[in-house]
Chains A and B, each alone.
Chain A
């Protein structure tokens, strides 16, 4: 492994790509800008003083991709065949996700162009919204995938939580082995899992203020304020996959699941 942008003396070096084969190259990069929920609402409603924020940021990102070689010292000027910049408004995380795809047939990769497009689109979003929100934060700018070139393809592994909860099958309650002393395994499903920020935790039976669901909720709430969500009237509970109320007793090795009202069908 060596850095191609340094020569044998450690000096900056522009790689000679003249002898490289032309191949189809593609790179996808993404990032996000986190803002106050009120700012996000203004942005999606088109109510910000500087006008159509997303259209402006898209043009800025595309322009930036084309000028990457002027900004990054050892980048080659590339004749890009396609640049796209897309936005996804994420109400749950109060942010705008920015994704850029750059493509060309050429001798050098386009990941710097995609990363530059995302960076400048995020900066433009910041500029367009800063009159109402100075606490915005740009983060998670990263290469998601690239194709073509001599080092082959790259794909960032998804860090998203699994969609389906648990591994148990019909009629089977999965009991974890991570709990040596008497305890219950507590699962959080669907929206509650996202809001609590974890899919399961373990609570020792001896730590419960009372050995029922009410006591389990109180013990968790005392442990961390995130668990106050369990006190919500809408939150449902099942012990070993059977619906239960606050008075239901918990015993060693029980699987207790908390979840929001169901919305199937």
Chain B
């Protein structure tokens, strides 16, 4: 299975990886993508921006491993994961996961699975900036519940 992972400070396009994954092949029947954006409210009501830190090296390997796990659970043609680091503003895209497969169910589920694992395992940390100052974002219990769903299936 074809997995590519990218970590970058620069913004990425909303069309990221779509044409590249589909070029010169006609066996793909479904493409599902998820895009995560910076919200202007989170732990405080007026988030003005955020800074994302990661652990270079471990981040890439973790994302590749998550993509490979998805490939073992479902029949997938391609997985693309791109994640931004550094400073971002509300409305900016932080992460995009794109999954291509022959049928839609695999692509939907694999995309959901990858995001659940990314949020609970990949070494990224968010610091939010707001009118009240800046603070590190706390982990969410609901993310742990989301990832636990896949362990019971």
Chain A residues at the B interface, C-beta cutoff of 8 Å = 44, 88-92, 163-174, 189-191, 194, 234, 238, 241-242, 257, 259-265
Residue of B nearest to A264 (CB): B124
* Main SS class of interface, A: loop
A37 and B132 CA atoms in complex are apart in Å by 13
Interface: B40 (CB within 8 A)? no
Chain B residues at the A interface, C-beta cutoff of 8 Å = 36, 51-58, 60-61, 83, 85-87, 94-95, 115, 118-127, 131-139
Q: Are B125 and A260 in contact (CB under 8 A)?
A: yes
CB distance from B42 to the nearest CB of A (A): 10
Residue among B53, B87, B95, B136 with the most chain A CB within 10 A?
A: B53
Q: Are B83 and A164 in contact (CB under 8 A)?
A: no
| Given contacts A189-B125, A241-B61, A265-B95, A92 and B134 within 8 Å (CB-CB) | yes
CB distance from B123 to the nearest CB of A (A): 6
A136 and B79 CA atoms in complex are apart in Å by 54
| Chain B residues whose CB sits within 8 angstroms of the CB of A260 once the complex forms | 125, 136, 139
Q: Are B125 and A259 in contact (CB under 8 A)?
A: yes
Q: Are B132 and A263 in contact (CB under 8 A)?
A: no
| Chain A residues whose CB sits within 8 angstroms of the CB of B132 once the complex forms | 44, 89, 91
- 3 tightest A-B CB contacts, nearest first: A264-B124, A190-B125, A241-B58
Q: Are B55 and A264 in contact (CB under 8 A)?
A: no
Q: Are A262 and B85 in contact (CB under 8 A)?
A: no
Residue of A nearest to B5 (CB): A170
A169 and B121 CA atoms in complex are apart in Å by 18
Residue of B nearest to A88 (CB): B133
Given A165-B56, A194-B136, A264-B119, 4 more A-B residue pairs with CB atoms under 8 Å apart are A89-B132, A89-B133, A171-B60, A265-B95
